[in-house]
Structure 1
Amino acid sequence: MLTKEKLRLEFTKDWEKHYKIDFLIDQGFIRKVCPKCGRGYWTLDEDREHCPDQPCQFYEFLDNPPTSKRFDYVQTWKVIEDFFRKHDHASIRRYPIVCRWRPDLFFTIASIIDFQRLEKNEVIFQFPENPLIVPQFCLRFNDIPNVGVTGRHYSCFCMIGQHSLFDGHQGYWKDRCIELDFKLLSGPFGIKPEEIVFLENLWVGPGALGPSLEYFVRGLEIGNAVFTQFKSINSNITEMKEKIIDMGAGLERFAWITQGTPTSYDVTFEPILRYLKKQTGIKYDAEFFLRYSKLAGSLNLDEVKNIRKMREQIANQLGVTLDLLDQKIKPLEALYAISDHTMGLTFAIADGLLPSNVGGGYNLRVILRRALSFIDEFRWNIDLIDVCELHARHLKLICPELSENLNEIQKILEIEKKRFHETKLRTKRIVEAIIQKGEKIDEERLIKLYDSEGITPELVQDYIQDLKIPVDFYVKVTEKHMRESKITIQEPIDVSGLPPTELLVYDDPKKTEFQAKVLRMIDDKWVVLDKTYFYATSGGQLSDVGFIEDFPVSDVQKVGDVVVHRILGKLKEGQVVNCNINNYRRESLTKNHDAVHIVLASAREVIGQWVWQAGSEVTTDKARLDITHFESLTDEQIEKIEEKANEIIKKNLPIKIEVLPRNEAEKKYGFRIYQGGTVPEGRLRIVSIGNIDHECCGGTHGNSTRDVGFIIILKTKRIQDGVNRIEFSTGDVALKYLREKERILTETARLLKVTEEKVPEAVKELFETWKTRRKELRKLKKK
């Protein structure tokens, strides 16, 4: 099997093919090989001996920036944006940090993810503009222990994405990419050309790979230009017809190198840190911290096994004890981490994700509770919503939408803070019980305490002073939640050799009788037709039933592009058959599916913009909708959702269905179309209810909201952390439900011998009487 390292060595052998850039040659760059690490690099400096990456070269820009101008974080983006706009790039707005368009990712982890889509198990690229530049904010959780420590690691950061699709006619390829990046550094940033070094590397992603050139200045990697030009399937590497420029650069690092501050956090979070230092009263020894920062880059917790020993070495070099080093540095590291974590929370919550104990919400709760733990540890008076508001204000020129969601962010953070402090109260009891039993609290137990009780290691440390918290603790608890794991187990149905079934249900949803030809009987129970109007189970909606000839159809499924119908009987291949669909069931399913969309839109308006669909099921009698929300629904909210849903029905809003190219659908309606998950197709079927709801959906739908009749919410319950289930009925079934409720009320009033209006009062009186009699009975039994 070809590993990344083996591939890199293969690419290095053929460096002229992969890394020789005419522009660099024309500028006088020469290729050298580093004697320490063996990697190839390109430089204008004939006397340079080593490559620019650590540990072959350390930072030489701290307190000594190489740029001719100094820019703050937002100014840095504006300089980069202006440069690329002048060079014919479209500047587009960031995509959500919550990745709704990739089923295998919870978060946007790189700018190129914006333009990747899955179609038929293959990653394809779709660009809204070509070429383009984007300030893509990303979330990654593999560096949590390094955040605040090394000066350069983040969980939330902005990746400047410079992207182009090159097919020989449009876009550009390697030479133009490197030319632009070189001119960006040497032009508006004023970095001397001889300071710029390009390091050869290789990028390997899901199903694709390509050579890359990382560019460094004074030991700092600023960007990485990846030339995605090969497909990789089962170690078989082939050239792509359309090649991709994927240059990703950290906005944090660009801003950092213009300032030369001790850490990149000092420039990235400048207004936030100014507020936090004032709020906490931390004394900042600038001279000492600069000396420390030049050594702190070596504290990468992924690479250093004994962090304490490394800290002791740094303390010795600085001429202080380890305790004094920790007193000076630990509070600052905590402020840096709080700044980073609150930025990630601001973006993720604004983009519709809630902290919880499942999925991507789990990772959000990790950084939220880590931030709260730091605040408690140092007994600081910091309110996280104030920090989030500062982030929104600071980033307004790049991401104005953050300010629009502050009320919702505040509401969610208040709930989470309350839960965290409730957890603190439980911690003492739980930890004391473990100690009394003589049980050991090791790494495995810490992870279990966090997963099952939400107890952070820092909370445990309050009661066990000498507890050693594993440096990679937060990496281990988050990595298993980084990807969704959806396993569908179903009876295998062999449809090999069959052509795709012609799906006609969308052409004429009212049609319930048709003729078709039998292509195959499978296992004496599944029949495949050349075409069908039967709806196959999908998207939570049950299938149609009916008859093929005189044989009942009890289930319809889709296997790939082939529709299979389960029947009680046998048919012959080639036979032309008469098919009949149960119209009453079709109409009931259609009304209930329309109702799912209506209730979702209503819930979002009543509760908040963080409401997303977390699941649904559409049957003939009722439908259920699972929505994201941080607490149980109140009676008032349920009543308002029902009222809003029936208002929408009364308005007789049109239900419009259109099939659009994916790019066009996303551009027109945004990423809220992915309520039921992603769809691995290039063209999407969008169901719109007036102007209030637009979703990618494959279900059956009516022409107007009035067709639904009315909606009755039957019950709601909180099925897991962050998810509520709403069950409801429509039309005749809802009417039947109301009549049954009325019958029960009438019968109860008769038995209690009161009017219907007096039933609640009479029941309460009866209950109080029963409680009194029960107490009296217990007293008598004791005698």
Structure 2
Amino acid sequence: MKNLGLNEIRKEFLEFFREKEHNIIKSFPLIPMDDDSLLLINAGMAPLKKYFTGELKMPGNRAASSQRCIRTADIDSVGITQRHGTFFEMLGNFSFGNYFKEDAITWAWEFLTERMEIPEEILWVSVYEEDEEAYSIWKDKIGVPEDRIVRLGKADNFWELEEGPCGPCSEIHVDRGVENGCGDPNCKPGCDCDRFLEVWNLVFTQFNKDADGTYTPLKHPNIDTGMGLERITMVMENADNIFEINLVKDIIHKIEEISGVQYKTDSKKDISIRIIADHVRAMTFLVYDGIIPSNEGRGYVLRRIIRRASRHGKLLGIKDNFLPEVVDKVMEIYNMEYPELLEDKERITKIISSEESKFQETIDQGLSILEDLIDDAKKANHDYIKSEDAFKLYDTYGFPIDLTVEILKENSLNVNLDEFKNLLEEQRERSRSSRQSGNVGWANEKNDYLINLKESNFVGYDNTYAKSKVDMILKEGALVDSLLAGEEGIIVTETTPFYGEGGGQIGDTGIIKSKTSLIDVFDTKKNKNNGIYHFVSVKEGKINVGDDVELQVDVDRRRDITKNHTATHLLHKALRDVLGNHVHQAGSYVGPDRLRFDITHFETISKEDLLKVQNIVNEAISRALPVEKQNMTLKESEEYGAVGLFEDKYKDIVRVVSIGDKFSVELCGGCHVENIAEIQMLKIVSESSVAAGVRRIEAITGRKVYEVLKEDENLLNELSDELKSEKKDLTSKVKDMHLELKALEKELAKLEEKDSLKGSDDILKHVQETSGIKFIAHKVNDMSVDNLRALGDNLKDKLQSGVVVLANISGDKINFLSAVSKDLAGKTISAGNVVKEVAKITGGNGGGRPDFAMAGGKDIDKVDEALSSVKSIIESLIK
């Protein structure tokens, strides 16, 4: 066999099929394109479905690729077994109605035996038991001895779904030797032992399976093959498993270097090292492909992988962030095929480091609480922890439920996940209920009349006034014939210029008039069919079903809304220009007074970058670019370069809003200005976090900016008068005052500390002793944390050898402090353990170093009991 590593094998494979006139396709991103059936790409053929179905054509109708893939179904087995991984590359060659079995089999054999120089005698093949054609090709054309061709049933050698294209397959196996087998002299492919390693699966898609189970031959059968790159590398390097191929070994060496733990010296730590080595490759490519950590979908897969790797780093004794260092190693060793990783290094490492840091903030506290729950369960001889406790860990401390389950499993414990899901749903329902409006709560998506409402004739893009007829009136959820003065309800008309809330843009307001009534429209909404309905309050007269009416939108309000809506498109473009193409819209609100724009981004946006974004938008506004709206097919919009929300389900015909010469092109059903000069100006007023991986920007435009500038000017004038300083000198004036204040605060702190230490001699009069250890347990009131620390250190020094425990009560808060002298700390007793047990008595928790630790408490009534327990706690903790 040739001595080739993973990168060399990939190169050889692609070159081999280039010579066989295949189109060599670079790996697609891990995010499926135009395929809602997949969360992530999990096989080489997954991105090529449209070529197999004939929707897309390729020159020569044949291709080959090395496709990066993610599979998380067996994530809990990664690291524990030596063959499961979340990240891998799949080598594959494909025929879209071009060649079939004979060529696929011949080329596979040629590549393995001639290019890879694998001895023929260690190769076995399996075929579907009814596939005589494949059996004959292997036996008569390739010359594989009959005793090395194994017939297997549907479960092993037939690929199919419930219905659709399907067919038999043939697998090539490598005999790894009897020493890896089960001992059965008749052992062969199909056995569950480790002797025969399946390296290449050739799928012959030759049938279409109907819903009734009928198999109809396809006119143009296809070939879909898959060979795991890591698996064939195992064979070529004679490695025992996927973690011991040289490329992964290089990653493991980096983990060894960071952790100080040597691989294959401790079976438990080996699991952690393998998990990190696998997960760090997965996270690198997931982030490169535009995924950022979040609480759902692809983002949650990434978040789980990062947090799982980070936690196993802790199990290896790594205290600080370490994943970016290992990611750097991944980029280095994959540089041959993926040089773009290094080009995007800063963004990738920033996202991973940011997520690891966030997890570090919650992990320690969560682990401490979970350890207590585990201890309590074991003491009570339970094999579980309560679902309520697991939910509190998740809801209050942000501790992932999958991590809870994993740690419980390591301790032979479990939790009822069904109960956990019920608690989660109850919380979501409470959240939804709290958002329901009072007066029109009945007018939600559960109202059948509104659900079934057909599409309205909306004329509001070009008009703010229209005439129509009343089709339907609802009052408190029921159909009625009329509404009287003083009553509220919903009115549906055949035609309307009122925009129904959607795409982040709020609904229009205005008036409806008939010969007998004057009606205030205070909101407008629409259903999924684009049926528009108006929330109304009758001011005068009576409105009836069938009445002719005039509908007038509040023009000034609509104008302000359109300014803000078009501004969100400008903002989106500017944010992508400044922060990168990973930025995507994650939600928006467009009202008359402000706009809110949520984006996918992994860290706080700096003031400098926000200013750059604001300048780009205002520079565009100053160029008075026209805004064009046009309808086209979804495919035409893609070719035109339109951007749309990934989650949106668009119709065949979509509305595209373009600003200037493609400065911004987006799919959008909202209302917009004719020229962006109408926006006048944009000012960003805030940037904040909505959720992990999602940032929120709020901004104002037009008249609102002018109002804010006037307010700012007035404020500056007031400050200037108050501080008796010119406006240009205000900054230096405030700095001087701040320095003076800091000096006064410092002096005051010294006086307070001195005052707090006055009573230390009195406290020392109450020294107690147990088991030869002196200790102080004392209560104080209303001390700052710094002064409490100073008093603890002072008492410890005066005590010389012993333990100090202080309880500080300030309002309804309790702080505990424990300090242990140097001769005892960590040798005889630990301050962290002492304060933890003391705080527990008041329902609190905490911990810290062997010589100094702090904790919080909850029940003030139990502080005296906690201090009285110090003696027994010391006795129980003495080593």
Q: TM-score, normalised by structure 1?
A: 0.66
CA-CA distance at 1:344 after TM superposition = 1.2
CA-CA distance at 1:275 after TM superposition = 4.9
| Partner residue, 2:531 | 563
> Which of these residues, 598, 603, 608, is aligned with residue 570 of structure 2?
598
CA-CA distance at 1:379 after TM superposition = 4.8
Q: Cα deviation per residue 1:546-572 (whole Å; 9 max; x = unaligned)? A: 455545544443334342232647565
CA-CA distance at 1:415 after TM superposition = 3.1
- Structure 1 residues 561 and 159 mapped into 2: Cα distance closer, same or farther (>3 Å)? farther
Equivalent-residue separation in structure 1 for 2:92 and 2:470 (angstroms): 52
Residue type at the aligned position of 1:708? I
> Which of these residues, 461, 465, 468, is aligned with residue 411 of structure 2?
468
> Which of these residues, 647, 651, 676, is aligned with residue 681 of structure 1?
651
> Which of these residues, 140, 147, 164, is aligned with residue 71 of structure 2?
140
Residue type at the aligned position of 2:330? H
- Structure 1 residues 104 and 700 mapped into 2: Cα distance closer, same or farther (>3 Å)? farther
> Which of these residues, 713, 733, 737, is aligned with residue 742 of structure 1?
713
Equivalent-residue separation in structure 2 for 1:229 and 1:371 (angstroms): 43
Alignment of 1:85-124 (within 5 A): 90-98=23-31, 107-110=40-43, 114=47
- Whether the 8 Å contact between 1:714 and 1:727 is mirrored in structure 2 is yes
Q: Cα deviation per residue 1:554-613 (whole Å; 9 max; x = unaligned)? A: 44433343422326475656x876544443333222221121122233333444444332
- Structure 1 residues 106 and 352 mapped into 2: Cα distance closer, same or farther (>3 Å)? same
- Whether the 8 Å contact between 2:100 and 2:223 is mirrored in structure 1 is no
Equivalent-residue separation in structure 1 for 2:495 and 2:715 (angstroms): 48
1:371 correspondence with 2:339? no
Aligned to 1:327, the other structure's residue is in SS state: coil
| Partner residue, 2:462 | 510
> Which of these residues, 67, 92, 97, is aligned with residue 172 of structure 1?
97
- Structure 1 residues 430 and 764 mapped into 2: Cα distance closer, same or farther (>3 Å)? farther
- Whether the 8 Å contact between 1:100 and 1:106 is mirrored in structure 2 is no
CA-CA distance at 1:203 after TM superposition = 6.3
1:349 correspondence with 2:349? no
Q: Cα deviation per residue 1:323-371 (whole Å; 9 max; x = unaligned)? A: xxx7365555444332221111111222233335565434323322333
Equivalent-residue separation in structure 2 for 1:364 and 1:131 (angstroms): 33
- Whether the 8 Å contact between 2:283 and 2:302 is mirrored in structure 1 is yes
1:642 correspondence with 2:614? yes
Q: Cα deviation per residue 1:8-60 (whole Å; 9 max; x = unaligned)? A: xxxxxxxxxxxxxxxxxxxxxxxxxxxxxxxxxxxxxxxxxxxxxxxxxxxxx
- Structure 1 residues 82 and 142 mapped into 2: Cα distance closer, same or farther (>3 Å)? same
- Structure 1 residues 376 and 247 mapped into 2: Cα distance closer, same or farther (>3 Å)? same
Q: Cα deviation per residue 1:221-245 (whole Å; 9 max; x = unaligned)? A: 633738594576xx99999999996
Residue type at the aligned position of 1:541? Q
Aligned to 1:624, the other structure's residue is in SS state: strand
CA-CA distance at 1:639 after TM superposition = 3.3
CA-CA distance at 1:732 after TM superposition = 0.9
| Partner residue, 2:701 | 730
Equivalent-residue separation in structure 2 for 1:395 and 1:585 (angstroms): 55
1:713 correspondence with 2:713? no
Equivalent-residue separation in structure 2 for 1:714 and 1:536 (angstroms): 27
1:213 correspondence with 2:184? no
| Partner residue, 1:182 | 105
1:410 correspondence with 2:388? no
Task: Provide the aligned length of Structure 1 versus Structure 2.
Answer: 643
Alignment of 1:297-376 (within 5 A): 327=265, 330=268, 332-356=270-294, 360-376=298-314
Unpaired segments of 5 or more residues in structure 1? Answer: 1-67, 118-123, 165-170, 285-325
- Structure 1 residues 283 and 677 mapped into 2: Cα distance closer, same or farther (>3 Å)? closer
1:153 correspondence with 2:87? no
| Partner residue, 1:539 | 503
Equivalent-residue separation in structure 1 for 2:704 and 2:321 (angstroms): 53
Q: TM-score, normalised by structure 2?
A: 0.60
CA-CA distance at 1:79 after TM superposition = 4.8
Equivalent-residue separation in structure 1 for 2:68 and 2:561 (angstroms): 41
- Whether the 8 Å contact between 1:536 and 1:556 is mirrored in structure 2 is yes
Q: Relative contact order (C-alpha < 8 Å, sep 6+): which is higher?
A: 1
Equivalent-residue separation in structure 1 for 2:689 and 2:24 (angstroms): 42
Equivalent-residue separation in structure 2 for 1:424 and 1:446 (angstroms): 14
Aligned to 2:111, the other structure's residue is in SS state: coil
Aligned to 1:490, the other structure's residue is in SS state: coil
- Structure 1 residues 89 and 398 mapped into 2: Cα distance closer, same or farther (>3 Å)? same
Aligned to 2:285, the other structure's residue is in SS state: helix
- Whether the 8 Å contact between 1:592 and 1:623 is mirrored in structure 2 is yes
CA-CA distance at 1:711 after TM superposition = 0.8
1:494 correspondence with 2:449? yes
Range moving further from structure 2, 404-413 or 487-496? 487-496
Residue type at the aligned position of 2:125? I
- Whether the 8 Å contact between 2:390 and 2:420 is mirrored in structure 1 is no
CA-CA distance at 1:153 after TM superposition = 1.7
- Whether the 8 Å contact between 1:229 and 1:243 is mirrored in structure 2 is no
CA-CA distance at 1:729 after TM superposition = 0.8
Equivalent-residue separation in structure 1 for 2:687 and 2:299 (angstroms): 22
- Whether the 8 Å contact between 2:492 and 2:534 is mirrored in structure 1 is no
Q: Cα deviation per residue 1:625-677 (whole Å; 9 max; x = unaligned)? A: 1223334444444334323332333344454555555455556649xx34463
RMSD: 5.3
Equivalent-residue separation in structure 2 for 1:241 and 1:535 (angstroms): 50
Aligned to 1:616, the other structure's residue is in SS state: strand
- Whether the 8 Å contact between 2:171 and 2:199 is mirrored in structure 1 is yes
- Whether the 8 Å contact between 1:128 and 1:663 is mirrored in structure 2 is no
Residue type at the aligned position of 1:598? L
> Which of these residues, 599, 602, 616, is aligned with residue 630 of structure 1?
602
- Whether the 8 Å contact between 2:374 and 2:408 is mirrored in structure 1 is no
- Whether the 8 Å contact between 1:653 and 1:706 is mirrored in structure 2 is yes
Residue type at the aligned position of 1:385? P
- Structure 1 residues 658 and 774 mapped into 2: Cα distance closer, same or farther (>3 Å)? farther
> Which of these residues, 198, 208, 215, is aligned with residue 127 of structure 2?
198
- Structure 1 residues 713 and 495 mapped into 2: Cα distance closer, same or farther (>3 Å)? closer
Q: Percent identity?
A: 24
1:620 correspondence with 2:575? no
Residue type at the aligned position of 2:445? Q
Equivalent-residue separation in structure 1 for 2:724 and 2:159 (angstroms): 79
Range moving further from structure 2, 515-524 or 256-265? 515-524
CA-CA distance at 1:504 after TM superposition = 5.3
- Whether the 8 Å contact between 2:588 and 2:595 is mirrored in structure 1 is yes
CA-CA distance at 1:718 after TM superposition = 1.9
Equivalent-residue separation in structure 1 for 2:126 and 2:373 (angstroms): 56
> Which of these residues, 546, 556, 559, is aligned with residue 587 of structure 1?
559
- Structure 1 residues 428 and 230 mapped into 2: Cα distance closer, same or farther (>3 Å)? closer
